[in-house]
Amino acid sequence: MEAYDKEMNEGKQMYEFANKIFPIHRCLTGDGVRKTLEYINMEIHSMGGYSLNIREIPSGSRIFDWMTPKEWTIRDAYIEDKNGKHIIDYKDNNLNVLGYSIAVDKWVGLDELLDHIHSQCDQPTVIPYVTSYYSEQWGFCMSDIKKQSLKDERYHVFIDSELFDGSMTYADLVLKGESDQEVVFSTYICHPSMANDNVSSLALACQLMKQIIQMKSRRLTYRFIFVPETIGAIAYLYENSRYLYLKEHFYAGYTFSCVGDDKEYSIIHSQNTSSLSDRVLLNVLNDKADDSTPMLEYSFLERGSDERQYNSPGIGMSFVGYCRSKYWTFPEYHTSLDDMSFISTKGLQGSFDVFNDVIKILENNRVYRTIIPCEPQLGKRGLYPNQSQKGSARQASVTSITDFIAYADGTKDLVALSDAINKPAAVLIKVAERLLKEGIIEEVNI
Ligand code: ZN
């Protein structure tokens, strides 16, 4: 049990954090987003006083080809029958109300009510997550079973909401390193109470911020972006032409979505599959995946989250999408089944371990050259076993060393070298350190 606790330490912290922010009703704009950012701030504030840079963009601002939306606030919503019984109530589950629904307060017949109810016929027990950001309408979401059970009578529909000229909130945090080359992590803050999509990603970003804050030294600069999906990423890139700075300093970038289940690891490639972002994550996932937890590779044609904006023409940064079970592919996706029982400490820990390795590799992704002609004598340096026995563990670690030396020709970075010799880059960091110390290889600046 003790070993388990130790192993899952980050996963447990992440689950706890996800559980805290799960009940908050988030949407594109409004106090749900602000409150979520406050919780993130509390986590990093205790790590030496760091806090997010929080920005508000007024409703109706032009951002590239879009306008920022009105702010939405909701206080109450229910459907009541003639006896005063609430058929559904927003307070029981915030998925029960259509996201961005306009206000309504009237008695309607069954036919009119059904026109405003969203359900999922192929999953009759779930409440679907539905929004209407760009067309003003009122609506409720409920299970199809409940919808089918509604009697032909009159109902009181009540939604106390407001769409008004306010602002859209987003935040970022930049953790400076020795270089101003940036590794960027981006996720969204606009989903209501669903666990994998997307409090899991907020928990991952938060844990990684804490991890990076604690690093003794950093070669690279790390930027974390928290935005409402799509419109927020567009606003972030647009504001003060920030995309020009980001492009100039881009080193690697990842978007997080659905990172808390423990079924598989998924990579959604950027358009440029040979980019550093692609190569590093693929290398790590090849290492982490096994028969019980496979790695699924998706092309950029199957993109769906903010990797769309960051890769788009005119922006052109190779952001890679990361999920455990990919959005769209699991039945719990965008339904009330995506609750805290769908994600786990183990799933979150798995995602943390992946990006802990990604960061280590990015920090150490150097190019090396072997400087001794012919094979160096490893035995005299304590790098080769005195006895040779095939198949032993010692033998396997020796091949990491001999293969590293054989392939370090001054042209491949650590990830390319790792791919060539089929040994995880995360493991080769230590090998490189030892070989440098022994004077067998040198670093090449290319
Ligand atoms: Zn979603």
Tokens of 104: 């309504």
Pairing of β 250-256 and β 319-323: parallel
Percent of the chain residues topping a pLDDT of 90: 93
**Backbone torsion region of residue 374, taken as left when φ is above 0, otherwise alpha when ψ lies between -120 and 50, otherwise beta:** left
Dist CA 389 CA 85 (whole Å): 77
Residue of 31, 21, 56 whose CA lies nearest to 171: 56
Mean pLDDT of 44-49: 89
* Helix H or strand E encompassing 198: none
Cα–ligand 1 centroid distance for 198 (angstroms): 7
CA of 289 to the centre of ligand 1 (A): 25
332 CA to centre of ligand 1 in angstroms: 11
Distance 24 CA to ligand 1 centre (A): 15
Ligand 1 center from residue 194 Cα (angstroms): 9
Rg of the chain on CA atoms, in Å: 25
Q: Where are the beta strands (DSSP E) in 270-392?
A: 295-298, 319-323, 367-370
- Overall average pLDDT of the 333-339 stretch: 98
Q: What is the pLDDT of residues 176-198, one digit of tens each?
A: 999 999 999 999 999 999 999 99
In this structure, are residues 173 and 52 in contact, taking their beta carbons and an 8 Å threshold? yes
C-alpha span between 355 and 351 (Å, rounded): 6
Question: What spacing in Å lies between the alpha carbon of 345 and ligand 1's midpoint?
Answer: 21
Q: How far is CA 394 from its chain centroid? A: 37
Gap from CA of 357 to ligand 1 centroid (Å): 26
- Contact assessment for residue 89 and residue 80, using Cβ atoms and an 8 Å cutoff: no
Distance 386 CA to ligand 1 centre (A): 57
187 SS3 class: strand
Centroid of ligand 1 to alpha carbon of 304 (angstroms) = 9
Average pLDDT over residues 43-56: 93
Average pLDDT, rounded, for the chain: 95
- Summarize pLDDT for 252-271 with one digit per residue, the tens: 999 999 999 999 999 999 99
How would residue 49 be classed by pLDDT, with cut points 50, 70 and 90? confident
Q: Compare 385 and 324 and report the one with higher pLDDT.
A: 324
Distance between Cα 111 and ligand 1 center (Å): 30
2 falls in which pLDDT band (50, 70, 90)?
very low
Which tokens sit at 193?
A: 């109470």
Find the 224 Cα to ligand 1 centroid distance in Å: 19
Rounded average pLDDT over 206-233: 97
Quick one: pLDDT at residue 46? 86
State yes or no: pLDDT of 4 exceeds 50.
no
Distance 372 CA to ligand 1 centre (A): 54
Taking alpha carbons only, the member of 159, 160, 150 closest to residue 111 is: 150
Q: Count the alpha carbons within 13 Å of 375 in the hemisphere toward its beta carbon.
A: 11
| DSSP-derived secondary structure letter, 412 | E
Average pLDDT over residues 326-339: 98
Q: Which band of pLDDT confidence, cut at 50, 70 and 90, is reported for residue 391?
A: low
Mean pLDDT of 74-82: 97
Helix (H, G, I), strand (E, B) or coil at 297: strand
Q: Quick one: CA dihedral 177, 238, 312, 231, positive or negative?
A: positive
Is 150 in contact with 118 (CB distance < 8 Å)? no
The size of the chain, in residues, is 446
> Helix (H, G, I), strand (E, B), or coil: what is residue 336?
coil
**Which tens digits make up the pLDDT trace of 223-259?**
999 999 999 999 999 999 999 999 999 999 999 999 9
Distance 191 CA to ligand 1 centre (A): 7
Rounded to the nearest angstrom, the distance between the alpha carbon of 202 and the centre of ligand 1 is 13
